[in-house]
Amino acid sequence: MKDIEQIELDRYRNEIIADMRSLVEKYRRIFDWDIPDIDQLAADKLILAAMHTALDSITIPLSD
């Protein structure tokens, strides 16, 4: 049986994916404004790497 947290996460999975896609699109637009002849694949890799780094830097307090 699934834990209640996993069930709840499953309910929001599509919303989380949509939010992440929106963030990628936001930063694609910023890159496009700053660098007119951009290599989109290279920019996407940089954006995704930055997002991974940001996610890794988020700390979650441990409960007692």
The H-assigned helical ranges of the chain are 4-34, 40-57
Angle between helix axes 4-34 and 40-57 (nearest 10 degrees) is 140
State pLDDT tens for residues 8-48: 999 999 999 999 999 999 999 888 888 878 898 998 999 99
Identify the pLDDT of residue 22: 96
Say what the pTM is: 0.70
- Measured distance CA(40)–CA(32) in Å, rounded: 9
The number of beta carbons lying within 10 Å of the beta carbon of residue 55 is 9
